[in-house]
């Protein structure tokens, strides 16, 4: 069996994991696998400029963990203009990790997590998965409304009422956000422990060949590795 090299703790039912191909979602997939969920569905939703680069990372990470990759292209730019969906809105660069945490940045995509979770809910209901995992984080992304714990609680309540399994059997997929209260350094340490293949992941908000090193996502990634005391800066 490929992946973390560790045995699964317990045997659990299926899970859908939202996988962007970045370090947070890769760590989330590693956690879902470590917790013993089977089968694993990695749902990769492409919606913007980084399309090709993200999809490549998502495919590699999903394969590493033996997850079935489900891809969906969603023209979100039509309804949600953002620096991440439109090329005419610049991605902010050169902000410190502290600055990134303040306010709602240009990279915020309106209702993005709500849309993503809803598509994950459809897949979870169809595959009878017992859980949906997403790598949202309330520490570094406190400026994003849909990364806050109170948002997630409200989503969970809604999801319980939205599904056939909820009506027929009083069950519905749980929404799990294991990184919610972790710092980026915590995420790196957790990922290291579970053997996350960082070299396969992609964080940069731009879709170039190499990470730009200057956008919010690159800054947070670098700070995470630095603070976690990782010996090398992984790309």
Residue 155 Cβ, how far from a second copy at the closest point, in Å?
Answer: 5
Give whichever of 71 and 214 is closer to a second copy, judged by the CB atom. Answer: 71
Residues 170, 152: Cα–Cα separation, whole Å: 20
> Contact between 218 and a second copy (CB under 8 A)?
no
Give whichever of 51 and 157 is closer to a second copy, judged by the CB atom. Answer: 157
Ramachandran quadrant class, 195 (left: phi over 0; alpha: psi -120 to 50; beta: rest): left
Binding positions for a second copy, 33-72, rule CB under 8 A: 43, 70-72
Q: Which two tokens stand for residue 83?
A: 């620096």
Residue 108 Cβ, how far from a second copy at the closest point, in Å?
Answer: 7
Which residue in 141, 155, 198, 205 binds a second copy (CB under 8 A)? 155
Backbone angles phi, psi at 133, to 5 degrees: -110, 135
> Contact between 78 and a second copy (CB under 8 A)?
yes
* 155 contacts 41 by C-beta, under 8 angstroms: no
> Contact between 92 and a second copy (CB under 8 A)?
no
**Looking up tokens 């598509």, which residue turns up?**
119
Backbone angles phi, psi at 149, to 5 degrees: -55, -40
> Contact between 180 and a second copy (CB under 8 A)?
no
**Looking up tokens 């963990």, which residue turns up?**
65
Residue 8 Cβ, how far from a second copy at the closest point, in Å?
Answer: 25
Spacing of C-alpha 150 from chain mean position: 18
Which residue in 74, 97, 106, 230 binds a second copy (CB under 8 A)? 74
The three-state secondary structure class of 209 is: coil
DSSP single-letter state for residue 48: S
**Strands lying side by side in the sheet with 131-133:** 68-73, 40-46, 15-18, 131-133, 174-176
Residue 148 Cβ, how far from a second copy at the closest point, in Å?
Answer: 7
Which residue in 125, 130, 140, 222 binds a second copy (CB under 8 A)? 125
Which residue in 54, 146, 176, 216 binds a second copy (CB under 8 A)? 146
Which residue in 161, 169, 199, 231 binds a second copy (CB under 8 A)? 161
Which residue in 58, 80, 177, 204 binds a second copy (CB under 8 A)? 80
């Amino acid at each position: 069996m490929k992946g973390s090299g560790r045995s699964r703790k317990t045997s659990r039912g299926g899970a859908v994991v939202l996988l962007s191909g970045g370090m947070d979602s890769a760590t989330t997939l590693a956690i879902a696998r470590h917790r013993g969920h089977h089968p694993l569905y990695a749902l990769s939703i492409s919606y913007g400029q980084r399309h090709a680069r993200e999809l490549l990372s998502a495919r590699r990470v999903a394969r590493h963990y033996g997850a079935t990759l489900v891809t969906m292209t969603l023209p979100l730019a039509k309804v949600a203009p953002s620096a991440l969906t439109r090329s005419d809105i610049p991605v902010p660069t050169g902000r410190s990790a502290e600055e990134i945490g303040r306010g709602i940045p240009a990279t915020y995509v309106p209702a993005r997590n709500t849309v993503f979770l809803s598509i994950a809910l459809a897949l979870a209901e169809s595959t009878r998965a017992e859980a949906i995992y997403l790598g949202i984080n309330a520490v570094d992304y406190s400026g994003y409304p849909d990364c806050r714990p109170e948002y997630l609680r409200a989503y969970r309540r809604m999801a319980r009422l939205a599904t056939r399994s909820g009506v027929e059997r009083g069950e519905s997929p749980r929404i799990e956000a294991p990184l919610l209260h972790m710092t980026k350094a915590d995420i790196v340490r957790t990922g290291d422990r579970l053997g996350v293949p960082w070299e396969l992941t992609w964080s940069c908000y731009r879709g170039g060949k190499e990470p730009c090193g200057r956008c919010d996502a690159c800054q947070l990634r670098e700070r995470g590795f630095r603070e976690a005391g990782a010996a090398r800066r992984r790309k």
